Structure 1
């Protein structure tokens, strides 16, 4: 895979100087058109052999293009803040917005490659990391991103020659870093695992480009032309995606769903409610203060029918806790900043650190509920979201996050009574809007979407808890008990 990058590619100075002005002008034009259109972000991943010109090439791109529209990110050793969260969190929060370019040094490929080369983990872990990288890039491209992946290469002979030349030059010996010396000793392993990664992750939506780095003129023109051709092709592509033929999900023959199997008549008497509420609040507060919580974070997702009592349940959960220990994230229509990013971005940035608890009042499931029913995204988008959401939650759980998901269900008559009560009660009128009444007319469509959501995203590691919410007392206690049970199970697994 690297043979063609070891044959001595070179461009003479005269040819280089003649080509640069037109290339710079075209790159600037494409960059400004990218900003003007604001349709997609550009992500450039920089990887390869030390000393092959990675830093020099990125510096040159900043000179050739407008650096105000380029975000260069370097991911070295993880910070304490990053170590307290899932590995992908550090990358998601740095993604460029639509219309901008992000250049990532030390990205997800660097982390997995260095870890395997130095024996920090075995092939199975590397393969898992490769699969996660593929899924991440597939999602980013499906969300509109344009990804360039560059591997800057030197042959073993070229690398040794470079190190010797610099070592013997007192004016430039400082340019040799400890990583250069280290890689000179692990070159064969680095190239072996690098080839494995490139072979597995070079896809039509995000191919690798191997650049021979020995000649600066050649590598600069090669990278510049690849960027230009990719940008120009994408900028000329149709703005609207081609409508895809999407097969239906299908319904059960008797049209029954898990929601139909719920017994919404269950209820708690007031005295039982008060006793159980206090017991479960005390248990949850104790568990969140437990020292074992240092290895975990807790995420609670609240979804449900309008007027199902999500707000009341959340208040009963929060009432038991120290305000410094939890954070409530209300999810409404995305802001301009959020619309310029993949839809999961606004949730990734709120993932809590270990020891913390985040409550999502509405969540990433809007993709397969509101956006599906209201037609805010194409069928192909919400259909692929099921697997994207499962991947997202799996990453959280593998990092020690306990994920608890609630669907609060009520029947149409109970919803009508609560809507009418809100309209008649002055301090509750803010809770009822025209949109609530309009959504009520789409009850069958939302019910079908909820059934599909539960069927496709209630997994063994992140199951849905369906909460019978016609009786608010029952619902609040069940929510608290479920949270406590989930933490106890996580703690028990730690001890096994």
Structure 2
């Protein structure tokens, strides 16, 4: 497939000079149009060694307005990145809508290196490539434009370029031992690259193979290709694709045929107050010990709390935070997204708060807002919230695969109990801040929320991330159930390190450690 990148295309100095001025003008014009759109542009720059990837990025930064462009390299991992799921570093690099991010290698760099060095099998590589395809589909369905460039040249041209670079003081940082001998493994690397490109070359995010032997040809081709891609995307009326989900089945119109999972909860469950106090004290001491054990084992914990308004989420969370050392956790109250958050994919604001290894993040409401509030209130289009189920499942699977202990709680109460709590909040001065006009309006949509919750649980209660439904009419009972579930799950999870997971990365990392 790389034959077309070895035909010897060139551009003369005069032609380059004439075309560069016009191209630069057009790129700046399309960049201004891009700013007024809701389209983030992600440019992936990859290819064989010595193809001039850095030179291309420098040229793009010269031609474009750098106030709307950011560049990111991923050759080194910081401590922060190593202590979180791998894709955390890429989510942090996502551009806001209307801007451009240029990623050196991006999410392809590590799969290429691991397969090339034999750290993973072809089957493991294919597993990771499937994840990449899903990831790119998710971004493009949210409106992003992904432009992927692969720079290639003949083996002879690469040897000449490497020799040239070895004599250039400014580029000696690139000449690490394994890279200086890269041309010796040209054929093997080309084979790996072909497999990766064929697997991930999709209509929504195609690869552009660029012949890199002649610098002037290379740079003009990249600039023109990027210009055309952005122009085409701006001209499209929509990026929506069939979401592939028809929703739940149409149910008969009798009450007994429309029973949901929430209807099966016994909301009369309660606990004796003396029993509550003694168990609470014991569980809080246990969860504190488990949090420190998780810290020492470098196991992250993510707790997700959802529920009807006044369902008791805050009270349950306070029983956790009052027992765990404050240096080990962060509590994230999730409200309406800010302008910065709206400028990104809805999962972006949750990825950025994921805990470091050994720490805990508590989400007071979460990414499930997409299939609850945004669905019921009409803030998300049908296609957006319908595809969110699979997006959320893949997100949570990545967390668990990386060793995160993930627990999800839905705290449920009856309509009568909610009304009682709403009135109590209005009557008690220090509770009035908890009740708003929006809470009262939401009560009118109880059936719609109930339907949305049922479908949410059905579609996202998975083996790796099951839901715990909590009977919440009696607050003490609900708090004990939450704490008991956390303690039991952590006790089991911390007995042994996480098992190897699907995909090439865990095996690759294990083999790297064995070599060291």
TM-score, length of structure 1 as denominator length: 0.96
Distance 1:289 1:150, change over 3 A: same
Query: What is the match of residue 175 of structure 2?
Result: 177
Query: What is the match of residue 403 of structure 1?
Result: 406
Q: How does 1:206-285 map to 2 (within 5 A)?
A: 206-238=205-237, 247-251=246-250, 254-285=257-288
Query: What is the match of residue 113 of structure 2?
Result: 114
**How far off its partner does 1:294 sit?**
2.4
Distance 1:184 1:359 in 2: 49
Distance 2:200 2:93 in 1: 21
Query: What is the match of residue 2 of structure 1?
Result: 2
Distance 1:73 1:419 in 2: 49
Query: What is the match of residue 142 of structure 1?
Result: 141
Q: Is the 8 A contact 1:246 1:379 kept in 2?
A: no
Pair 1:439 & 2:442 matched: yes
Query: What is the match of residue 417 of structure 1?
Result: 420
Pair 1:352 & 2:334 matched: no
Q: Is the 8 A contact 1:158 1:214 kept in 2?
A: yes
- SS at the partner of 1:55? helix
Distance 2:239 2:158 in 1: 46
Distance 2:331 2:437 in 1: 25
**How far off its partner does 1:473 sit?**
0.4
User: Aligned pairs, how many?
Assistant: 494
1:430 is aligned, of 426, 430, 433, to 433
| Bigger mean CA offset, 156-165 vs 131-140 | 156-165
**How far off its partner does 1:128 sit?**
1.8
TM-score, length of structure 2 as denominator length: 0.92
Pair 1:23 & 2:26 matched: no
**How far off its partner does 1:127 sit?**
1.4
**How far off its partner does 1:162 sit?**
2.5
Pair 1:450 & 2:453 matched: yes
Query: What is the match of residue 513 of structure 2?
Result: none
Q: Is the 8 A contact 1:71 1:102 kept in 2?
A: yes
Distance 2:436 2:62 in 1: 53
Query: What is the match of residue 507 of structure 2?
Result: none
Distance 1:170 1:350 in 2: 42
2:343 is aligned, of 340, 344, 350, to 340
Gaps in structure 1 of 5+ consecutive residues: none
**How far off its partner does 1:182 sit?**
3.5
2:475 is aligned, of 472, 476, 481, to 472
Q: Is the 8 A contact 2:331 2:362 kept in 1?
A: yes
Distance 1:13 1:170 in 2: 22
Distance 1:418 1:165, change over 3 A: closer
- SS at the partner of 2:264? coil
Q: Is the 8 A contact 2:304 2:366 kept in 1?
A: yes
- SS at the partner of 1:494? coil
Q: Is the 8 A contact 2:265 2:471 kept in 1?
A: yes
RMSD: 2.0
Distance 1:147 1:357 in 2: 33
**How far off its partner does 1:220 sit?**
1.0
